[in-house]
A = this chain, B = another copy of it.
Amino acid sequence: MGIYTIVGLTAAAFTTFSFLPQAIKVIKTKQTKDLSLVMYSVLTIGLFLWLTYGILVKDIPVIIANLITFIFAAIILIMKIKYK
């Protein structure tokens, strides 16, 4: 595996799993006042479109990375709507 691919995969792992601690935080605290509802609405739609794009062009890394991020973002969005 080349250095470029390693940088790309590390980048994807960081941006994908960055949302996990935020999801855990809102589940634990049920505090969502400072989170932007518009951000998580637009982000969740955007990640769903990325997932759709990955399926259309049959790109497995795009599908996997965006499916995981979509799940985290959707959890945060649901908690924001529930506990705003």
Contacts and interface: CB of A to CB of B under 8 A. Distances in A.
A15 B57 contact: no
A33 to B, nearest CB: 6
A32 B57 CA distance: 38
A18 B35 contact: no
Interface in A53-74: 53, 56-57
24 contacts: A4-B53, A7-B56, A8-B49, A10-B46, A11-B46, A11-B50, A12-B50, A13-B46, A14-B43, A14-B45, A14-B46, A15-B46, A16-B46, A18-B42, A19-B43, A21-B38, A21-B39, A25-B36, A26-B34, A31-B34, A33-B33, A33-B34, A34-B35, A35-B35
Q: How many copies of the chain does the oligomer comprise?
A: 2
Contact of A49 (B14, B22, B25, B33): B14
Interface SS of A by simple majority = helix
